[in-house]
């Protein structure tokens, strides 16, 4: 039973959720995590008067992808609503996705041909500049428009990322996206062959296999991005919007396409803006502050540095956010949440199953339990350890958007 049905009520209150992607970590120096090593005087002050805790993105011991991680903090059960990464990337880049389509996330990569077979040397092609990505993507699109009657649509993302939509002539049966990633996840290995998990997916996989071969021919002479690894095969899902589920008019302020894609899928309006810095996101937030009730602002680089194993870089992003925190507070949101979608410890160089730090600030919290927004201090907080999908309940309650349940 969805307990929120019948309890939602209108309010003029504003909820701001700031997501520092991959926020949580593990000890990297002197027994301290990145959050513990960071100098964060503004966050420290805020933490003392806020409710702190930790959230579990999916379930205990389960390492989440970015899709499930964000769905959880947006109030959706990530086990019920499973969204492929390809859909997120495609929507984030402004591509239309239909029920005839399979959307795919691509990574430009560097391969070396050994005995005629590609071997991965760099899974991200040295994180080529976005401008170089645009040139290469345009080259592919101009030379590859369809395969066996299937339309090929490709769009450039940030750095090495791209999105592909394969548009079939007729709607695809459910499960047609059950195809394995072709990224071997390690250098020194051959890309994996796409294989369908059922007869419908096998038909799609045959088109994908031809697509990979044709792209490899087009890119063969490129010095870095001479191959395309594919991940996150996905069909369009059916999911209720934030307004339908929570009664809030919401917007998304994010730099990277995948997060804009996820926000679009749950009905958030995407606010376009120039720049890639935290300041450019804050400037945008200020401009649209009067127009919405729920604001999702995403900061990516905490996750990027964590995945690179660069704990000093991750600390620098946390400290940069801390310097900008007063500007968020000047807007006087009725409820402010600061958290991550999952943990990305630099020690692991990837997403992990560890609980994620969470801060909720409003006039209606106990506070005074924790001194900092760190993993250990959050364990002392009044929120305890909770499922990520329950965060929205707390934000709605603290913003006076939920009626009493029962007589």
pLDDT digits (tens, 9 = 90+) for 277-316: 999 999 999 999 999 999 999 999 999 999 999 999 999 9
Token pair for 90: 């495609």
Residues with Cβ within 8 Å of residue 248, at least 6 apart in sequence: 15, 242, 293, 294, 401
Report residue 141's pLDDT band, with 50, 70 and 90 as the boundaries.
very high
Q: Which residues pair with 166 in a beta bridge?
A: 102, 152
CATH of 15-81+239-398, one of 3.40.720.10, 3.30.70.100, 3.40.30.10, 3.40.50.980: 3.40.720.10
pLDDT digits (tens, 9 = 90+) for 93-109: 878 888 899 999 999 99
Do residues 300 and 21 make contact, with C-beta atoms less than 8 angstroms apart?
yes
Residue 324 phi/psi, 5° resolution? Answer: -90, -10
Residue 374 phi/psi, 5° resolution? Answer: -135, 165
Instruction: Return the CATH architecture of domain 88-234.
Output: 2-Layer Sandwich (3.30)
- Using the CB atoms, write b or e for 377-391: b if 16+ within 10 Å: bbeebebeebbbbeb
pLDDT at residue 1 above 80?
Answer: no
Q: Please state the domain extents for the chain.
A: 15-81+239-398, 88-234
pLDDT digits (tens, 9 = 90+) for 347-388: 999 999 999 999 999 999 999 999 999 999 999 999 999 999
Position with higher pLDDT, 80 vs 394? 394
């Amino acid at each position: 039973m969805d307990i929120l049905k019948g309890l939602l009520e209108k309010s003029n209150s504003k909820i701001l959720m700031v997501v520092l992607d991959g926020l949580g970590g593990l000890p990297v120096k002197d027994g301290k995590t990145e959050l513990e090593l960071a100098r964060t005087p503004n966050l420290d002050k805020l933490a003392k008067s806020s409710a702190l805790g930790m959230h579990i993105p999916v379930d205990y011991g389960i390492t989440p992808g970015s899709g499930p991680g964000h769905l959880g903090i947006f109030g959706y059960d990530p086990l019920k609503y499973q969204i492929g990464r390809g859909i997120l990337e495609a929507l984030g880049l402004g591509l239309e996705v239909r029920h005839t389509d399979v959307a795919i996330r691509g990574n430009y990569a560097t391969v070396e041909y050994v005995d005629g077979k590609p071997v991965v040397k760099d899974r991200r092609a040295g994180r080529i500049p976005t401008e170089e990505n645009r040139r290469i993507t345009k080259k592919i699109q101009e030379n590859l428009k369809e395969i066996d009657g299937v339309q090929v649509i490709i769009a450039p993302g940030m750095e090495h990322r791209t999105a592909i939509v394969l548009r079939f002539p007729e709607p695809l049966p459910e499960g047609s996206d059950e195809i394995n990633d072709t990224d071997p996840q390690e250098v020194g290995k051959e890309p994996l062959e796409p294989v369908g998990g059922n007869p419908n997916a096998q038909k799609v996989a045959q088109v994908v296999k031809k697509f990979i071969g044709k792209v490899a021919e087009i890119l063969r002479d490129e010095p870095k991005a001479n191959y395309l690894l594919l991940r996150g095969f996905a069909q369009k899902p059916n999911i209720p919007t934030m307004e339908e589920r929570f009664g809030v008019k919401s917007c998304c302020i994010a730099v990277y396409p995948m997060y804009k894609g996820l926000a679009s899928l749950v009905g958030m309006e995407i606010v376009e803006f120039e720049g890639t810095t935290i300041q450019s996101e804050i400037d945008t937030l200020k401009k649209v502050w009067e127009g919405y009730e729920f604001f999702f602002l995403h900061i990516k680089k905490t996750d990027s540095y964590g995945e690179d194993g660069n704990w000093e870089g991750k600390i620098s992003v946390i400290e940069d956010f801390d310097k900008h925190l007063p500007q968020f507070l000047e807007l006087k949101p009725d409820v402010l949440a600061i958290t991550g979608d999952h943990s990305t410890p630099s020690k692991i160089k990837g997403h992990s199953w560890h609980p994620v730090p969470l801060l909720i600030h409003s006039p209606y919290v106990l506070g005074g339990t924790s001194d900092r927004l760190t993993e250990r201090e959050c364990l002392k907080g009044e929120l305890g350890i909770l499922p990520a999908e329950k965060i929205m309940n707390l934000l709605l309650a603290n913003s006076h958007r939920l009626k009493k349940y029962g007589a």
